[in-house]
Structure 1
Amino acid sequence: MPTVLITGAASGLGWELARGYHAAGYHLLLTDINANGLTARIDELGAERVIGLAGDITDPYLHQQLLQTCRERFGRLDVLINNAGITHRSPAMQTDPAVLRKVMAVDYQAPVELTLSALPLLRQSRGQIIAIGSMAGWMPVLGRAGYCAAKSALGQFFEVLRAEAARDGIRMLLVYPSFLDTPIEQNALGGDGKQAQHGRSTIGQVCSADWMAAQILQAQRQGRERLFPDRCSWLASLLWRIAPGFYYRKMSARFAGEMG
């Protein structure tokens, strides 16, 4: 029976992915910083094929625990889903550098380090890596400088790794969603590192986490390499490349309420 490891699995997209892979017959290894939330999710799924390990995804020791559990309890790792993430809503000039470091650590450095540590197991299974990027990595979004930078770095790293890992039979699916209805936005950081107090602005349609999870599962079954589920945001990214001045004017008007 195949095994999937999902980070950020206690809520939002991670939880919907856990439900989907559980229904598909996978063994699940789930992790999240929210220990109580993770325990509740495991109870909901039933413990027969599910193991949860709570912890901070930026902690290398947690990575060791997760991969050791894969070896000892399941004997394999077939799919690694780098889903855990955080964001901020604050103009760059009003953002404490510590916030930018935290966003980069969670959204870029942690998935990179976990993936590199997981490569031996993935080679054995000729498995797959799924990285949850963002359209914010393809185009600037005002008030999200740190998030845009982290997701851009994530996409570039895994696009390079795709070609290198393919020699070992490891496949790669990069997912570029736009605005989703998940707790990542509800828990967004402000410029001072505390929870953001203002609502978010959006481009295009805000999609549900269960819809997004279904799209990812389908893309994996189809053997796709990249998933751009929100056509409106994909077109906006093209506009940014073709007419950046026009894009900035539209973006500035749309996000004016967040600029203070």
Structure 2
Amino acid sequence: MSEEKVFVVTGAAGGLGWATVNALAERHRARFALIDIEQESLDQRVQELRQRGIEGQAFVADLSDESAVARLVEELRRQFERVDLLVNNAGITHRSLSTVTSNRVIRRVMAVDYHAPVELAQGLLDPLRRAGGCVVNISSMAGWMPVLGRAGYCAAKGALHQYFETFREEVREEGVRVLMVYPSFVATNIENNALSGDGGRAKHKQSTIGQVRTPQWMAKRIVAALEQGKERLFPFDKSLLGAYLYKLAPRLFLKQMVKNFRVELEVGRAERAAQSKNQPSALEG
């Protein structure tokens, strides 16, 4: 069996995924399996790694497609006897009120943000066991508290949290670790490509609280937490205070949330009015 370490990263072609690959490559010698839906961008990233003397392979997959994830797992298991690190970074979000968000959008968000990480971790469990590896899940503070206009995203990240908190204890004695990462606001394409309620691209500006961090800043914190053996990485900013406030004084938190994210209500009501005028049902599909 080869002793070469293998790092698998989803959503690796840009944003936090690519920043994490770079942060890992600066400190660890490993072979990288880069996963993304964008073939051209992915091939470019692999080429960049190889120019630096780092072995990388591209795996193109739509993580919202269950059969595509199954094929990806099969291919990864065929090529790699061990997986030292699985970084479940790929994600999508929406910016739309629940009342104007189609079932199709909710299912897609849940598939990418929850089902795919679960299926990858389960499918690669034997290679992770062989390596004494670690699963890193990029969750969100939205998994700890509600955020207007992100009901589906909050639900997916909340499910991710609960699943892998349980999973960790079930595999701990087998030598597999889990690091849950809970960023607040990071400047990545996930918000630039946020879905609208009908599955198109959200047109209104993202609402944020506190400082928006760079992917590089976040990636360095993730790698440091991984090396320190941490099991959870939280942001020390207003979003963490918000999580405590939601737990201790939920009504006060909800009032403040509505104030900070009121644009979501205004845009959502306009969309609902337009849907009511043009369609008999906003929730088909």
Could you say whether these structures have the same fold, taking a TM-score greater than 0.5 normalized by the shorter chain as the test? yes
Q: Which amino acid aligns with 1:7?
A: T
**How much has 1:94 moved relative to structure 2?**
1.2
Partner of 2:86: 80
Aligned position for 2:58: 52
Contact conserved, 2:61 with 2:72, CA < 8 A, in 1? no
Letter of the aligned partner of 1:43 in structure 2? Q
Partner of residue 5, structure 1: 8
Change (3 A) 1:63 1:194: closer
Alignment-derived partner of residue 39 in structure 1: 43
- Number of matched pairs: 260
Residue 179 of structure 2 aligns to a residue whose secondary structure is strand
Residue from 206, 227, 236 that aligns with 1:221: 227
Aligned to 2:34: 30
TM-score (norm 2): 0.87
Corresponding residue for residue 171 of structure 1: 177
State the Cα deviation string for residues 32-80 of structure 1 (Å, max 9, x = none): 0111111111122217510011111234454455445545545321011
Q: Give me the whole-angstrom Cα distance separating, in 2, the residues matched to 1:218 and 1:33.
A: 28
CA distance in 1 between counterparts of 2:208 and 2:241 reads: 15
- The amino acid across from 2:246 in the alignment is W
Give the aligned partner of residue 19 of structure 1: 22
Deviating more after overlay: 208-217 vs 23-32? 23-32
Q: Return the offset for 1:230.
A: 3.6
Letter in 2 for 1:164: E
1:127-206 map, 5 Å = 127-206=133-212
CA distance in 2, matches of 1:113, 1:77: 15
* Structure 2 residues without counterparts, runs of 5 or longer: 267-285
Answer yes or no: is the 8 Å Cα contact 2:114–2:160 preserved in 1: yes
CA contact (8 A) 1:179 1:206 kept: yes
Mark the CA change 1:148 to 1:40 in structure 2 (over 3 Å): closer, same or farther: same
Rounded to whole Å, the distance in 2 between the matches of 1:73 and 1:109 is: 23
- Which one is further off, 97-106 or 181-190? 97-106
Specify the code of the residue in structure 1 equivalent to 2:94: H
Matched, 1:233 2:239: yes
Q: Distance in 1 between matches of 2:244 and 2:77?
A: 43
Percent pairwise identity: 47
- CA–CA distance in structure 2, aligned partners of residues 162 and 64 of structure 1: 22
Q: Which residue of 1 aligns with 2:276?
A: none
RMSD (Å) for aligned C-alpha atoms: 1.5
* TM-superposed deviation, 1:126: 1.2
More displaced stretch, 249-258 vs 67-76: 67-76
SS in structure 2 opposite 1:76?
Answer: coil
Counterpart secondary structure, 1:143:
coil
| Residue pair 1:179, 1:207 contacting (<8 A) in 2 also | yes
Distance 1:211 1:179, change over 3 A: same
Over 3 Å counting, the alpha-carbon distance change for 1:173 and 1:145 in structure 2 is same
Does the aligned pair in 2 maintain the 1:178–1:230 contact within 8 Å? Answer: no
Larger Cα Rg: Structure 1 or Structure 2? 2
For the Cα contact (< 8 Å) 1:6–1:29, is it kept in 2? yes
Corresponding residue for residue 107 of structure 1:
113
Residues 108 and 150, structure 1, Cα contact 8 Å, conserved in 2: yes
For structure 1, the residue ranges without an aligned partner over 5 or more in a row are: none
- For residues 60 and 248 of structure 1, what CA distance do their matches in structure 2 show? 35
Per-residue CA shift, 1:99-143, capped at 9, x if unaligned?
Answer: 111100110011111110010111111111111110000010000
SS at match of 2:174: coil
SS, match of residue 56 in structure 1: coil
Q: Is residue 2:95 matched to residue 1:89? A: yes
